[in-house]
């Protein structure tokens, strides 16, 4: 994980995610986000939805880590797991 979606913890922050993504600090072929939805208020959930909509507009694909490995997009992942 290299992009914190919750800043501060338990609070999804659309403005921070957008700034980090557009700033180009992350030039990886994937983004892994972790959240704590059981701690979110309605406002926090709305910020999370903004993050998802933003990444959809950027044509990002959504999948689980297992799906990513299965699709062989993670260099060397299958070799490491065998």
pLDDT digits (tens, 9 = 90+) for 29-56: 778 888 999 999 999 999 999 999 999 9
CA proximity to 60, closest of 34, 33, 25, 42: 33
- Burial profile 39-71: b = 16 or more Cβ within 10 angstroms, e = fewer: ebeeebeebbebbeeebeeeeeeeeeeeebeee
The pLDDT of residue 74 is above 60: no
Q: What pTM, to 2 d.p., does this model score?
A: 0.78
- What number is the average pLDDT over the span 57-76? 79
At 48 the three-state DSSP class reads: helix
């Amino acid at each position: 994980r290299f992009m914190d979606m919750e800043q501060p913890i338990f609070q999804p922050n659309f403005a921070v995610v957008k700034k980090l993504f557009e700033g180009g600090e992350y030039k990886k072929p994937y983004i892994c986000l972790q959240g704590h939805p059981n701690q979110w208020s309605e406002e926090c959930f709305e910020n999370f939805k903004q993050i998802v909509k933003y990444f959809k507009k950027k044509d990002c694909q959504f999948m689980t880590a297992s799906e990513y490995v299965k699709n062989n997009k993670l260099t060397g992942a299958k070799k490491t797991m065998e």
